[in-house]
Amino acid sequence: MSIASSTEVPAKDRVLRGIDEARATFKKTLLVCAILFAALIVVIVVMSLLGSEKLPAQASLCALLTFGKTSCGLTSDQDAILFDIRLPRILLGAAVGGSLAVAGASYQSLLRNPLAEPYLLGISNGAAVGTMIALVFMGAHEWSRPLMAFSGALIATLVVYRLAQGKTGATPERLILAGVIVTTFLSSAIVFVTTLMDATRIRSFTFWLLGDLSGTTAKLLWLALLIAIAGTIVLAAHARSLNLLMLGERDAFDLGVEVSRVRLVVFIVASLLVGSSVASSGSVGYVGLVVPHLVRLSLGSDNRITVPAAAICGAIFVVVADTIARTIIAPRELPVGAITALIGAPLFVYLLRRR
Amino acid sequence: MLEARNISVKYGPRLAVSEVSLRLSPHEVTTIIGPNGAGKSTMLRTLNSGIAPVSGEIILDSRPLGSYSRRAIAKRIAVVAQEAELRFPVAVFEFVLGGRYAWSSTAGWGWETARDVEVARDVLRETRLEELSDRLMTELSGGERQRAVLARALATEAGTLLLDEPTANLDLAHQAAILALVRKRCDTRGMAALVVTHDINLAAEFSNHVLLMKDGKTVAFGKPNEVLTPDLLKEVFAVKVLVDAHPVSGVPRITPVHEVLR
């Protein structure tokens, strides 16, 4: 009898033990999120140093680490660029990226469709129409923008969901077609509202429509950050239900998921996320497609890990994309939506062909 | 214990089930047989609270079914449905752990406990899937996948199991394997099972009671040898059948006699 045989594990048990280690657990989720969050902080700091106006690295780093309490040798102009222009814009990018990625991941699980994405389903456009109506007719009230954006997103969501339901259920193709119809219909609504504006505002408007992080107010920034964090927490709290919904509504119901309640929660929270993003920065496309897909590819498709990880990765993705957008042809700028679409559209084609 | 008393169910404008009564008792397998559109699957969905009956009542463990929350029902009744198309990759082990959802302490973010993992391992052994547990569901054969669906239902530890054509699309060996597993659970752990099937011979072999349905109504209910008679089967399926005793088990064996063959 050899010594090894006493510690040998039967093959069957080894397989079970292996899968148990690969499975998403609370510990693994915390670890992954901590690492990603650290990466996000690094990205935020590094990206705030880059831009058309070069900032001295050491002094900026020092200023950032003391939260601007000491100037660390930055001139007052440099200080203003860092804390009043760049940092708010980067934080907004993080909020928008996180919001859209989480909304995308949730829509994909709920609708059982890897191609579902707020922008492609017309939900971003719904929010855009809401924002524009608020701007044109309720310009005096700052809060009307996010409120109308949320309403627009929610209405677009419900319409797309209804349109996609065929007699045989919703196929992925049907959902995308429904999204195309809603998107084009809302695009003409956008054109219509644009004609009601004065000519001087139209250019900044077209820019905003393509996704632009430069023109927001402090209030909207805080709102976007707050909604991004709260929305991620609420949706992550429904992640186990989403895991079962991913396998089919009937299966989820049989196993104990209150399907209609979860669906309502996802629709409302995702619409809030998309609404607050669009109200502050227009329609940044494909974030909800690219980020959850890459997260699933590397971490598996358990939503308890996908949802929080997508939030942080989405933030990183948009902050980096926006830095590219504002530096690549500096001192002029591209809308960040152009960069995300440039990455996202080919991935969409790849995903569509792989099915 | 699950019992339907005189239930009628509307499916669209049509009355799909009309005044049917059924009682599922521990240790017993009950089979519903009938032609397409007889209301078999509707009956099954109604028993699982997926559709509400327009009249009659359903009693689960001496309380009306409607008084339970969805999670509470899922702890007591498990369903093996015809499989849905999978669009996201999921490993067999994770798939089976899905059966533990109703037992989680919090609704959504709850993580599986050591006991959940233990239960999942046990049912994977029981369904002989332990060596496949790290595979993706999409990599399994049809028979293995259906075993995984059954394993997930068993992982709920529900006392009542409802199976909707669990053996459709399976070959002979896999059909028998699925029903043998169900039979064993009923015999050893006092589970009650209801099987909707088109396979009359499997029903005869594995069930204690057979409910024969046509046009939403009960035609006959009783032991296989009482219900599976040439007259009743001809009335329900409009086809002449030959019934003799199975040479090995002695249960009724049904052979359709098609007009064209004579």
Taking alpha carbons only, the member of B79, A318, B126, B221 closest to residue B98 is: B79
Question: What's the confidence (pLDDT) of residue A328?
Answer: 86
Paired residues of B161 in beta bridges:
B78, B193
* Over residues A74-96, mean pLDDT: 88
**3-class DSSP state for residue B241?**
strand
Q: For residues B16 and B65, what is the distance between their CA atoms, to the nearest angstrom?
A: 20
User: Cβ contact (<8 Å) for B87 and A239?
Assistant: no
Arithmetic mean of pLDDT, A298-325: 93
B167: which 2 tokens? 């053996």
Chain A residue whose CA is closest to B124: A16
Considering Cα of A340, then A342, then A347, then A353, what sign does the dihedral take? positive
- Neighbouring-strand partners of residue B67: none
Region A15-21: what's the mean pLDDT? 53
Q: How far is Cα A243 from Cα A112, in angstroms, rounded to an integer?
A: 10
Q: What is the pLDDT of residue B188?
A: 92
Whether B108 and A114 lie within 8 Å, measured CB to CB? no
Is the model's pLDDT at B186 over the cut of 50?
Answer: yes
pLDDT for res A164: 85
Banded pLDDT at A4 (limits 50, 70, 90) = very low
Residue A8 has what pLDDT?
A: 44
Q: Measured between alpha carbons, how far is A314 from A295 in angstroms, rounded to an integer?
A: 10
* Average pLDDT in chain B: 89
Q: How far apart are CA B163 and CA B153, in angstroms?
A: 10
Q: Which residues of A touch B87 (CB under 8 A)?
A: 112-114, 172, 246
3-state helix, strand, coil in chain B (%, to 5): 40, 25, 35
Of the given ranges (A91-105, A168-182, A293-307, B128-142), which has the lowest mean pLDDT? A168-182
| pLDDT for residue A139 is more than 90 | no
For the ranges A86-100, A142-156, B80-94, the lowest mean pLDDT is seen at B80-94
Q: Which of A52-61, A316-325, B110-119 has the lowest mean pLDDT?
A: A52-61
Is B84's CB within 8 Å of A251's CB?
yes
Q: Which residues on chain B are in Cβ contact (under 8 Å) with A114?
A: 87-88
Nearest CA in chain A to B84: A248
**Residues A173, A154: Cα–Cα separation, whole Å:** 21
Q: Do B102 and A253 touch (CB under 8 A)?
A: no
Task: Collect all residues from B whose CB is shorter than 8 A from any CB in A.
Answer: 48, 50, 69-71, 73-75, 78-79, 81, 84-91, 93-95, 97-99, 101-102, 104, 106-111, 117, 121, 124-125, 130-131, 133-134, 152, 156
Residue A2, pLDDT above cutoff 50: no
Give the pTM. Answer: 0.88
Q: What pLDDT band is residue A11 in, cutting at 50, 70 and 90?
A: low
In this prediction, residue A19 has a pLDDT band, given cuts at 50, 70 and 90, of low
Instruction: Work out the percent of chain A whose per-residue pLDDT is above 70.
Output: 91
Give the closest-approach CA distance of B93 to chain A in angstroms: 7
Whether A104 has a pLDDT exceeding 60, the answer reads yes
Instruction: Find, in chain A, the residue whose alpha carbon is nearest to that of B71.
Output: A256
What's the mean pLDDT when you consider all of chain A?
Answer: 85
Mean pLDDT of A124-137: 89
Q: Do B90 and A301 touch (CB under 8 A)?
A: yes
Buried b (16+ CB within 10 A) or exposed e, B181-193: bbbebbeeeebbb
Pick from A167-181, A264-278, B158-172 the range whose average pLDDT is largest: A264-278
To the nearest whole Å, the CA of B30 is away from the closest chain A CA by 20
Token readout for B9 is 């169910």
Q: Which two tokens stand for residue A287?
A: 């974030």
Model pLDDT, residue A97: 96
pLDDT score of A61: 83
The answer to whether A113 and B87 have CB atoms below 8 angstroms apart is yes
Residue B143 pLDDT level (bands cut at 50, 70, 90) = confident
> What crossing angle do the helices spanning A303-327 and A87-110 adopt, rounded to 10°?
140
Q: How many CB atoms lie under 10 A from the CB of residue A260?
A: 11
* Residue B255, SS3 per DSSP: strand
Phi-psi region of B24 (alpha: psi -120 to 50; beta: other; left: phi over 0): beta
- Please tell me what DSSP assigns to residue A238: T
Query: What pLDDT, in 10s, does the model give residues B30-83?
Result: 999 999 889 999 999 999 999 999 999 999 999 999 999 999 999 999 999 876
**Nearest CA among A197, A117, A211 for reference residue A156:** A117
- Judge residue A297's burial from the number of C-beta atoms within 10 Å of its C-beta, 0-12 exposed, 13-18 middle, 19 or more buried: exposed
Q: What does each C-alpha distance from B100 to A124, B67, B95, B121, B123 come to in angstroms?
A: 36, 22, 10, 12, 12
CA A15 – CA A66 distance, rounded (Å):
50
Mutate which: B42, B70, B113, B115, vs A, most A CBs within 10 A = B70
In angstroms, the separation between the Cα of residue B130 and the nearest Cα of chain A is 6
* Structure confidence at residue A13 (pLDDT): 53
> At B212, is the secondary structure helix, strand, or coil?
strand
Kindly state whether A240 is in contact with chain B, defined as any CB-CB distance less than 8 angstroms.
yes
Name, of A46-50, A230-234, B104-108, the range with top average pLDDT: A230-234
Spell out the residues 6+ positions from residue B153 whose beta carbon is closer than 8 angstroms to its own.
Answer: B78, B79, B80, B99, B161
3-state secondary structure of A245: helix
- Chain A residues whose CB is inside 8 A of the B135 CB are none
A328-348 pLDDT per residue, tens:
887 788 889 889 988 888 887
pLDDT tier for residue A5 given thresholds of 50, 70 and 90:
very low
Locate B234 and state its tokens.
């001809």
Residue-wise pLDDT for A179-198, tens only, equals 889 999 999 998 888 888 77
Cα–Cα distances in Å, from A186 out to A144, A153, A269? 19, 11, 21
Beta partners for residue A334, in sequence order: none
Q: Name chain B contacts of A18, Cβ cutoff 8 Å.
A: 134
Question: Is residue A20 over pLDDT 60?
Answer: no
Q: Which pLDDT score is estimated for A53?
A: 78
For residue A264, is pLDDT > 60? Answer: yes
Q: Is A89 on the interface with B (CB under 8 A)?
A: no
Decide if pLDDT at A3 tops 70. Answer: no
Helices A87-110 + A287-299 axis angle, to 10: 70
Q: Please name the residue of chain A whose CA is at the shortest distance from the CA of residue B149.
A: A251
**Looking at beta carbons, which residues of chain B come within 8 Å of A112?**
87-88
Rank A3-12, A132-141, A325-334 by mean pLDDT and report only the highest.
Answer: A325-334
Amino acid symbol at B127: T
Q: What is the pLDDT of residues A58-73, one digit of tens each?
A: 888 888 887 777 777 7
